[in-house]
Structure 1
Amino acid sequence: MIKTFSYIVFSLFLLLSADSDARKGNEAYAKGNYAEAEQLYRAAIDQDPENAKLYFNLGNALAKQGKTEEAIQTYLEYRGLVETPEEKSLAEYNIGTTLAETEKWKPASLHFRNSLRLNPRDTEAKTNYELALSKMESEDEQQQQQNQEQDNIEPSEYAKAMKAQAEKLVELQRYQEAYDLMNEAMKVDETVNAFKDFIQRTKDVADINS
């Protein structure tokens, strides 16, 4: 069976009175009204800024809305307020899964690993860590293949002509002009990239002379 990433730990902390903003936030969250829940959790935090569990709930509401950056920042605030390794591991786990859902495999694997270090018994964190590593390796292999394909690209006649003209400019020590010529040519013909080493060397010399 193919394994997939576990869902973010969206268990909510329920410990305030029924008429509080936090409780109303939980109710809104349970109904799928995540934007409303976000606003209610923020209101609750304004009243009780040291309550770590409010930040955790807010992070969940943000993550559900696809507000990745804000969610990560909020989980980190929660992590900074809690004491136990198990609590801190929840923040790391949620950050990892949030990143995995946006296919940011390298940072996701880092946070899953952090979660495991804090709570080695968390089997879901272990599974997700292994999957993130696998995705990261696959992504690296694809990138290497793409780089090889670019290296093996066959320049067009136009690209060759531009290269010949640029070489003449280099002989005259007009390096910036040579670089500009190749750079402009690359915008209209991607096969000019076959001469990327020549282009880079030309740019390096032009930068030195400027």
Structure 2
Amino acid sequence: MLQKKYISFFLLLLMAATASAQKAERDFIRKGNRFFKDSVYVDAEVNYRKALETNPQSTVSMFNLGNTLAQQNKLQEAMEQYVAATKIEKDKNDLAQIYHNMGVIFQSQKDYGKAVEAYKQSLRNNPKDDETRYNLALSQKMLKDQQQNQQNQDQNKQQQQDQQEDKKDQNKDQQQNKDQQQPPQPQKKDSEMSKENAEQLLNSVMQDEKDVQDKVKKQQVIQGGRLEKDW
């Protein structure tokens, strides 16, 4: 009997705590909404974060916080809140709004491919949203133009590269023609002696020839004269 009373009392405390947390969450969201309406986005962000601290699974707080961050140009943080909300939210209309806002951020960043996918997800959850359908059509057109511009840039870049290659080939051909038209220049051989060396060699030969002639004359004198023996 006491055990049942203890369990009942615990359940009452749990219900009271849950109700208190839910009330605190709603109060923070309301305050955040008032600040958001007055364009006081910093204070709105503070209250939405407090609401998330109270209930980390609150997709309303995530969505509103994402909107507030987007207004402060904190687009990456805003996208993180939207993505987190899509993983929890089950209501199709709420999912449609989340994906729509994701598409708006992608569109503002000129990431039209992702914007198209986000708008398509939004329309899958709410096919009657004309604003989303218009944004989808606009993003599809911008994506097509972006791809066409990129293709043109790639073609222009390729043409410039081809022109540079052609110019290099022309310069190469001109240089080859110029080399063929010039007369061949005589090349100095390694064995070619200098004028000074030639003169030295000639003098040496002449000196050798003189020495030979002197020896011949001397021999002729000795052979033509009379030799006396010294006993």
Specify the TM-score bucket, using the shorter chain as the normaliser: 0.5 to 0.7
Which of 155, 177, 195 lines up with 2:164 in the alignment? 155
Aligned to 1:51: 58
Q: Partner letter of residue 34 of structure 1?
A: Y
Q: How far has the Cα of 1:18 moved from its partner?
A: 11
Q: Partner letter of residue 40 of structure 2?
A: N
Post-superposition CA distance 1:118-159 (Å, at most 9, x none): 1111111111111100000000000011111111113299x9
Is 2:139 the partner of 1:137? no
CA RMSD of aligned residues (A): 2.6
TM-score, normalisation: structure 1: 0.64
Which of 58, 61, 73 lines up with 2:80 in the alignment? 73
Looking at structure 2, the residues matched to 129 and 118 of structure 1 have their Cα atoms a distance apart, in angstroms, of: 14
Q: Match of 2:39, SS?
A: coil
Q: Partner letter of residue 92 of structure 1?
A: Y
Q: How many residues align?
A: 148
Looking at structure 2, the residues matched to 51 and 19 of structure 1 have their Cα atoms a distance apart, in angstroms, of: 10
Looking at structure 2, the residues matched to 54 and 113 of structure 1 have their Cα atoms a distance apart, in angstroms, of: 24
Question: Between Structure 1 and Structure 2, which shows a larger proportion of helix residues?
Answer: 2
Task: Output aligned runs, 1:51-200, within 5 Å.
Answer: 51-153=58-160, 154-155=163-164, 160=168
Looking at structure 2, the residues matched to 130 and 16 of structure 1 have their Cα atoms a distance apart, in angstroms, of: 42
* C-alpha spacing 1:17/1:49, structure 2 compared with 1 (3 Å): closer
Mind listing any 5+ residue stretches in structure 2 that lack a counterpart?
Answer: 1-21, 173-231
Computing the radius of gyration over CA atoms, which structure comes out larger, 1 or 2? 2
TM-score, normalisation: structure 2: 0.58
* C-alpha spacing 1:51/1:132, structure 2 compared with 1 (3 Å): same
Looking at structure 2, the residues matched to 33 and 102 of structure 1 have their Cα atoms a distance apart, in angstroms, of: 24
Post-superposition CA distance 1:38-61 (Å, at most 9, x none): 122111110122221111110100
Q: How far has the Cα of 1:16 moved from its partner?
A: 6.3
More relative contact order in 1 or in 2 (CA 8 Å, sep 6+)? 1
Q: How far has the Cα of 1:17 moved from its partner?
A: 7.3
Looking at structure 2, the residues matched to 152 and 33 of structure 1 have their Cα atoms a distance apart, in angstroms, of: 53
Post-superposition CA distance 1:137-182 (Å, at most 9, x none): 000000011111111113299x949xx8xxxxxxxxxxxxxxxxxx
Query: Contact conserved, 1:60 with 1:71, CA < 8 A, in 2?
Result: yes
Aligned to 1:25: 32
Looking at structure 2, the residues matched to 19 and 87 of structure 1 have their Cα atoms a distance apart, in angstroms, of: 18
